[in-house]
Amino acid sequence: MATHPEMISGIPADKLIVHLRSDGVSVVVDASAGVPWIRHWGRDLGDITPASVADALVAPVAAGSLDAVAPLTVVPCHGDGFVGPPGIEVHRGDGSGWAPRFTTTRVARPDDNAVVTTSVDEVASLELTTTVFLDRHGAVSVIADLTNTGPDDLWVVALEMALPVATDAAEIVSFGGRWSNEYQADRRRWPPGTSVVETRLGRTSHESPPLVMVGTAGFGEWTGEVWMAHLAWSGNHRIAAVRLADGRRYLTGGDLLHPGEVVLAAGESLTTPPLIGSFSARGVGEASRRYHRIVRSMSHRVANPRPRPVLLNTWEAVYFDHDATRLRALADRAAAVGVERFVLDDGWFGARRDDQAGLGDWTVSPDAHPDGLGPLIDHVRGLGMSFGIWVEPEMVNEDSDLYRAHPDWTLETLGYPSVHGRGQLVLDLGRPEAFDHVLGQLDTLLADHEIEYVKWDHNRPLVQGSGADLRAGTRRQTLALYALVDELRRRHPSVEFESCSSGGGRVDLGILLRTERVWASDCNDALDRQRIQRGTSLLLPPEVMGCHIGPPTAHTTGRTHPLCFRAATAFFGHLGIEWNLLDCTDDELAQVASVVALHKTHRVLLHGGDVVRFDPADDAGLAGGVYSPDRREALVSYARVNSGASLTAAPLRLPGLIPDAVYRVEHVPFPGETWGMAISHPSWPATGIDLTGAQLAGHGLQLPVLLPERAFVFHLQVQ
């Protein structure tokens, strides 16, 4: 029995069900249900008749239910009889219009990989436009646009999109964490009901990043079907995995709105951030790499293909002590070890001699830099390095000229005591005069100095933040942030930007549309960083993930590691140094220089290859690296993260290489590297070994005995 009519609202049936295909992925979109319905998202179905998918998947109507099974549309509607969490929640001032039900009026194909559907509800006076797009990398994106076509205000409670997954997806992985311990994976059986990850902190957050993945039982890095969903948004969000009682399962996401935050006047619209889904029939790695390809194809990265420069950040070297002689000496040592960019962190502006003053005054402090920044910038550039600077434009200290002049420009709720964080208040960038003030100061800073890089920080959550209209202002703040960075980029197209938010508190594809890098974590402890970077690498390629060699003793944990482990950990990202090189011995400086040189040798592979991770045989080790796109070269790291149950690690197997190719495998030693106690170690690290790709995937490679908190790196090249 066919489930698709010959025509709806004058739209021919062959336009109502559309098959999108790209890079081994099929998405079948059915627009006959009022709001588009993704009938299939997963394996490539080949050259099919799209309507046959709908015919094959007619749902039975079980006893004790409604007379028809409501479709799981890309914006699920309670008014259709859908039994799961609705994707649209709205109402008028009198409470009406709360359960809309749409009819399809238009289906457009702007290109072969997109479907744009317009749906209306004449009773509730709403128009909903949805876009389903399957890009050339095989990632699917859904965006919804809701317009109030009625004469009075429409209160929007939620507008979220949904992506269905196969009913045999049995396990779920979500991510949590905290400051200095981001992107920690939590894997479990997919329980009935709704598993929610959300944040109301005004930023992507350390605790609840908007990324979730599900898969078939036992899925791994190289095996099983995997579906991932990410909301490309830098503010409050809600992302969930839903398992209905009838067996249907789906992933959903949208920006989380505070009460009354979005009220649409007549004719006004609300557009969601994109929910981006990635599917793989061959494990997590392939799904993850689809996100990496999205990041790498963003226009500002394509337009600037230069190698990512090794940088030194001054924060853990000098903190607020901006002595000119000391900074010049630090720059001298940075240049001597091969650093290519010198980034001056917090403390250069206003009254900023500690963390309780100065935010909001983005002018050079005559106390910290009596001769201005010019002499330091000239010194840095004279050493062959570019110059970068730290700012935190979304915040303000009460001890600042800006706050004293405009105390009403803060994002807080009148009548209540101010909620402080790190001695800071939030500056309301949704207020035009505050936006213009910050834009003017930063524009002048960049126009007057040879600054090529801006580290943009955001160091506290946004809570109880009301705008000038007394309504919640978090969403407006996020949009203002985007507009501010976009305008600065337009005025200063050669300047690069880094997203930092107390480390990894703002890591998402929304902010990466307008930045070259994110600071993955304030933690430079190499042991913690191993898991932080592994989790972050599911979404981000190495070249945008800031990874620094910190001092021997990490200031966030007090743990001490040798340079070999710190360097091998930071090596697999955008390498930086956050260590006071003035405290280093000549031998340590030589070792750092050798690491920087080694990184530059492998930088093209590291920053252009495919990220791979390997499923550990136990919880004692973490292994991963990069393969070249043609699979003729690879760089792999195995890190021993604890003592483990066994004295020796199992042979490490490397799937995904060219089976009949012969690889030369050679150890890549790091300065001061030592192994664990053993009567004997494998001989190949000293001599190298030739193995086929089939051997490396089949029996693998035995590594030496390693002490806990040590890493072993090796290189593979086809002969």
Catalytic pick among 457, 525, 528, 610? 457
Q: Which amino acid is at 194?
A: T
Place of tokens 């483990």: 644
Contact 633, 602 (CB under 8 A): no
Residue 440 and residue 362: Cα distance in Å, rounded?
A: 10
Place of tokens 């392939």: 286
Triad 364, 367, 373: Cα angle to 5°: 35
Residue 127 and residue 426: Cα distance in Å, rounded?
A: 35
Contact 149, 127 (CB under 8 A): yes
Alpha carbon separation from 268 to 263, 265, 434 (Å, rounded): 9, 5, 24
Alpha carbon separation from 517 to 138, 346, 491, 573, 712 (Å, rounded): 24, 18, 19, 10, 27
* Distance linking the first and last C-alpha atoms of the chain: 59
Q: Does 522 qualify as catalytic in the annotation? A: yes
Residue 470: closest CA among 415, 399, 404, 388: 415
Mind giving me the DSSP string for 375-415? Answer: HHHHHHHHTT-EEEEEE-TTEE-SBSHHHHH-GGGBSS-TT
Residue 556 and residue 688: Cα distance in Å, rounded?
A: 38
Contact 313, 330 (CB under 8 A): no
Pairing state of beta strands 341-344 and 311-313?
A: parallel
The 3-state DSSP class for residue 55 equals helix
Residue 335 and residue 117: Cα distance in Å, rounded?
A: 56
Exposure string of 577-608, with b = 16+ CB inside 10 Å and e = fewer, is bbbbbeebeeebeebbbbbbebbbebbebbbb
The 3-state DSSP class for residue 529 equals helix
Q: Which residues contact 441 (CB under 8 A, 6 or more apart)?
A: 361, 362, 363
Catalytic pick among 30, 255, 361, 522? 522
Q: Token digits for 518? A: 């994110």
The 3-state DSSP class for residue 431 equals coil
Residue 164 and residue 242: Cα distance in Å, rounded?
A: 9
Q: What is the dihedral of CA 124, 75, 107, 150, to 10 degrees?
A: 20
Q: Classify the C-alpha dihedral 20-26-27-32 as positive or negative.
A: positive
Q: Does 457 qualify as catalytic in the annotation? A: yes
Q: Which residues contact 292 (CB under 8 A, 6 or more apart)?
A: 540, 541, 610, 611
Residue 368 and residue 324: Cα distance in Å, rounded?
A: 8
Alpha carbon separation from 80 to 247, 361, 459, 530 (Å, rounded): 18, 53, 43, 47
The 3-state DSSP class for residue 534 equals helix
Which stretch of DSSP H or E encloses residue 196? Answer: strand 193-199
Residues with catalytic function: 457, 522
